[in-house]
Amino acid sequence: MSERHARRGLALVVTAAVLFGINAGVTRIPIEAGLPTSTYTTVRATGAFLVFLLIAVVFDRSALRRPRGRDALLIVALGIVGVAFVQWTYNIALTRLPIGIALLIEYLAPVLVVLWVRFVRREPVHPRVWPAIALALAGLALVGQIWNGLTLDALGLAMALAAAFCFAAYFLLGETLTATSGEPLTALRTVVWSFGVGAITMNVLGGWEGVDALGDPASMLGRLSDLTVPAWLAMCSVVLFGTVTPFFLYLASLRDLSSSKASVTAMLEPVVAVVVGWLWFSETLTTVQVIGVLGVLAGIVLAQTARHVPEEELPPAL
């Protein structure tokens, strides 16, 4: 893989992580306006699917071709696990756990990805990835200040762990669908069909109870609390800039980056969320958290530099 392609993949993942981190703040607007979290997830998945469908109709109708055989099964798995369940389980975890702990547990996903690649796929993984993950997780622990809430709700813990597995599945399934040899699915075709499955799943599980809250004015909260916007407008931002764009960018990046490196780089998301909390919601950013931010960034850099190592220096396949 060329250096130019690797840089492109890294730029896509970083952009997606930043958008997801900002979305953590925007999400509060419709939910604080009274939209139930389950309905929020349903609206988010359904709205994103409709946008992807419109993009496909206008720009690339080949993306509307129904996947067949093995690809169809992978799409269904990606839609249920990597689109619907990852959002649903994480939202439940956030309501029952301190946000720092919920984020740290969800971001066990890169560890799961590397373990899967190494011991299930039996592919070589450069040893540098392991300390990179450890450094990034330690940084996340400092960012989330997990020692401030160590009494864990059992259901919340289970949902956070489920979110980690679902997030790992998103990267692994997406890599298989978009970065394999032969005739891989395009990123657009993958998101159109997987979000279609995800939207159906959330309409069954989440429903539309309380959706009328989107018709009410909503406070911008935090430093912008004196301003109000229609709750539906904030929800549109969640769909377009907090879902459609970053999910597509993650999948597109998997043509240029391995799932291992992409998932480690995605750890930038909670760091951005903490900075958003500091700038927008006047949340305190302590010295310890700043050190944690630097730790996450160092872990990401360490993981990315592993791609410069000659192939002969990699450990053998299992």
Residue range 15-26, pLDDT digits in tens: 999 998 898 889
Q: Each residue of 13-65: pLDDT tens digit?
A: 999 999 988 988 898 899 889 999 889 999 999 999 999 999 999 999 999 99
Average pLDDT estimate for 149-164: 78
Query: 3-state class of 217 per DSSP?
Result: strand
* Predicted TM-score (pTM) of this structure: 0.82
Q: Determine what percent of the chain is predicted with pLDDT higher than 90.
A: 37
What pLDDT does residue 65 have? 93
What band does 81 get if pLDDT is binned at 50, 70 and 90? very high
CA distance 313 to 295: 26
Tally of CA atoms within 13 A in the half-sphere of 213 that contains its CB: 20
CA distance 112 to 221: 36
More confidently predicted of 69 and 312: 69
Closest CA to 43 of 214, 215, 164, 167: 214
- Joined tokens for residue 48: 């994103």
The DSSP code for 182 is S
CA distance 27 to 25: 5
Token look-up 């979000």 returns 195
At residue 148, does pLDDT exceed 80?
no
Strand partners, 30: none
What pLDDT does residue 204 have? 93
Q: Determine what percent of the chain is predicted with pLDDT higher than 70.
A: 89
In the chain, DSSP assigns E strands to: 217-219, 228-230
CA distance 227 to 145: 31
Residue 140 near residue 104, CB atoms below 8 Å: yes
Q: Each residue of 213-228: pLDDT tens digit?
A: 999 999 999 899 999 9
At residue 152, does pLDDT exceed 70?
no
At residue 150, does pLDDT exceed 60?
no
Q: How many CB atoms lie within 10 A of CB 134?
A: 14
At residue 180, does pLDDT exceed 60?
no
Q: How many CB atoms lie within 10 A of CB 311?
A: 7
What pLDDT does residue 33 have? 92
CA distance 62 to 287: 51
